[in-house]
Amino acid sequence: MKEKLYYVEEGKENNEAIIFIHSNLLSNWVWNRQKSQLKDYHCIYLDLIDHGKTQVNMVFSIENCKKLIKNLIINDLKYKKVHLVGIAIGGTIILDLLYEYPNIIETAVISGVNIKNFADNKYNIDDIEDKVNKKSVDKLKMLDEIKNIDNIIINQEDKRTEELLSSVKECKINILDKKPSNFIISGFLAEYGIGKEYFNQLKETIKIDNFIKVSEEYLKYRLPNEINNFPHLLILYGTKEYPKVVKSAELIQNQFPKSKIFSIYRAIHLWNIINYDWFNETIIEFIVNKNIKDKDYIKENKDLH
C-alpha cells in the first residue's frame, strides 16, 4: 500500500481544490478558522509526516512531504484545479513543489516563510559578457572567479547553519528536555502569538523530539538557483513578523519574478487564526482573480520588486 498523508476534507463535490499545509510542529487543527468557511472548494487540511495523525514509514523531510503531496494531487484530486496554501515550512514545501511539479498547480499562497538562498549572489551572464567586452577581460577567468566567490559564500552560510543547528540541539538537551511540558507549550503559544484557548491543541500536537529534525530541514533548505516563471504565486508576511521573514520574501521573489508580495497589517505568524476573516478573504480573492487589491489591512510591497 502506498504511503499517504492523513487529511481532513470538506466540499468533496466541488471541482476546485485547496490544499492547506500547516506550519512547523503543528497539524491540521491550525486551519479550524478556515474549515466550513470556504464552501465553494474541495478543501484538504493535511498533516505532514511525523505531525498530527499521519503515520507513514518515512522520515520527515521537505522532499518526502513534497512527494506525498504530489501523489495526493495526482491520485486523489485528479482532474481538479488545485490551489496550495501554506505557512512557514508548509510554504517552503509549496515552493519546492512549484519547481518540480508546476503544471499540476493552479495558484499558490505562502505566508511567513523563512528561507536562506544564494540567488542574490547569482550573476547574469549577459551582464558579465557586457563587462568582459568593455574591459577586455578574459570571460572564462571572470566566471571562475565568480564561481569561487559563490562557493566561499555558500561554505560560510553552511558553516553558520551548522553552528545554529548545534545551538538548537544544545538548547533542546540543556533546556527543553529539562522543562515541564506545560512550560514549553506556553512558550510556543507566545511564539505563535495565539491565546491560551489553544493550549490543549498545542500540547497534543507539539512533539519536542521532532524539533531538531524539522529545524534542520527548515534551516538547510535552499531554493534551486534558477528562475521560476510560475505565474500565480502570492507571498505574504505580517508586519509584526521577524525581519528575516521580510528578507525571505525578497529572496523568493528573486526566483519567482512573476510573484506578488503583500504585507498584512500588524499580523504575526499564525494570522490565519487571529485575523481569519482577512486570511480567508485574501486567499479566495487571489484564487479567483489571480491578483489582489490593496485594502486597509493588506498592502503590496512594491519596494521588494
Per-residue pLDDT tens digits for 12-59: 999 999 999 999 999 999 999 999 999 999 999 999 999 999 999 999
Q: Which element (helix H / strand E) includes 235?
A: strand 233-238
Using CA atoms, how far residue 302 sits from 216, 262, 294, 299, in Å, is: 32, 8, 12, 9
For residues 67-95, average pLDDT: 97
For residues 183-212, average pLDDT: 90
Position 94 pLDDT exceeds 60: yes
88 C-beta neighbours (distance < 10 Å), count: 24
The CATH code of the domain that includes 16 is: 3.40.50.1820
Same domain membership, residue 109 and residue 194:
no
Q: Choose the final residue of a domain: 216, 251, 279.
A: 216
Amino acid identity for residue 58 in this structure: M
Identify the CA nearest to 272 among candidates 233, 296, 238: 238
Same domain membership, residue 264 and residue 135:
no
Burial 17-27 (b: 16+ CB within 10 A, else e): bbbbbbbbbbb
Exposed/middle/buried for 83, CB within 10 Å: 0-12, 13-18, 19+? buried
In a domain, 267, yes or no: yes
Same domain membership, residue 147 and residue 209:
yes
Q: Is 199 helix (H, G, I), strand (E, B) or coil?
A: helix
What is the percent of the chain with per-residue pLDDT over 90, rounded to a whole number? 66
In a domain, 277, yes or no: yes
The pLDDT score that the predictor gives to residue 213 is: 87
Q: How many domains does one find in the chain?
A: 2
What is the percent of the chain with per-residue pLDDT over 70, rounded to a whole number? 83
pLDDT band at 192 (very low <50, low <70, confident <90, very high): confident
Q: Answer whether 108's CB lies under 8 Å from 93's CB.
A: no
Same domain membership, residue 285 and residue 188:
no
- Give the residue with greater pLDDT, 167 vs 53: 53
Same domain membership, residue 113 and residue 13:
yes
The pLDDT score that the predictor gives to residue 66 is: 98
Identify the CA nearest to 274 among candidates 159, 208, 197, 216: 197
For residues 73-97, average pLDDT: 96
| Residues sharing a CB contact under 8 Å with residue 43, sequence separation 6 or more, in sequence order | 9, 10, 11, 17, 18, 20, 34, 35
The pLDDT score that the predictor gives to residue 219 is: 83
In a domain, 2, yes or no: no
pLDDT band at 196 (very low <50, low <70, confident <90, very high): very high
Alpha helices for 136-210 (secondary structure H): 139-174, 181-192, 199-205
The pLDDT score that the predictor gives to residue 153 is: 47
- Residue 206, all three cell numbers: 507539539
The tally of CA atoms less than 13 A away on the side-chain side of residue 111 is: 31
Q: Which element (helix H / strand E) includes 261?
A: strand 260-264
Range of the domain at 160: 121-216
Position 229 pLDDT exceeds 80: yes
In a domain, 90, yes or no: yes
* 273-289 tens-digit pLDDT: 999 999 999 999 999 99
Q: Distance between CA 279 and CA 275 in Å, rounded?
A: 6
| Residues sharing a CB contact under 8 Å with residue 23, sequence separation 6 or more, in sequence order | 30, 87, 88, 89, 90, 112, 192, 269, 270
The pLDDT score that the predictor gives to residue 146 is: 47
Q: Distance between CA 77 and CA 36 in Å, rounded?
A: 19
Average model confidence (pLDDT) across the chain: 87
Q: Distance between CA 244 and CA 232 in Å, rounded?
A: 23
Same domain membership, residue 112 and residue 30:
yes
Same domain membership, residue 199 and residue 79:
no
In a domain, 19, yes or no: yes
The pLDDT score that the predictor gives to residue 261 is: 97
The pLDDT score that the predictor gives to residue 128 is: 46
For residues 245-273, average pLDDT: 95
Give the DSSP letter of residue 24.
Answer: T
Position 178 pLDDT exceeds 70: yes
pLDDT band at 238 (very low <50, low <70, confident <90, very high): very high
The pLDDT score that the predictor gives to residue 38 is: 95
Same domain membership, residue 150 and residue 15:
no
Q: Choose the final residue of a domain: 167, 191, 216.
A: 216
Same domain membership, residue 201 and residue 147:
yes
The pLDDT score that the predictor gives to residue 113 is: 96
For residues 262-274, average pLDDT: 96
Same domain membership, residue 168 and residue 144:
yes
pLDDT band at 122 (very low <50, low <70, confident <90, very high): very low
Model pTM score: 0.86
Q: Choose the final residue of a domain: 216, 250, 284.
A: 216
| Residues sharing a CB contact under 8 Å with residue 241, sequence separation 6 or more, in sequence order | 112, 267, 268, 269
In a domain, 1, yes or no: no
Same domain membership, residue 172 and residue 103:
no
Exposed/middle/buried for 194, CB within 10 Å: 0-12, 13-18, 19+? buried
Same domain membership, residue 129 and residue 78:
no
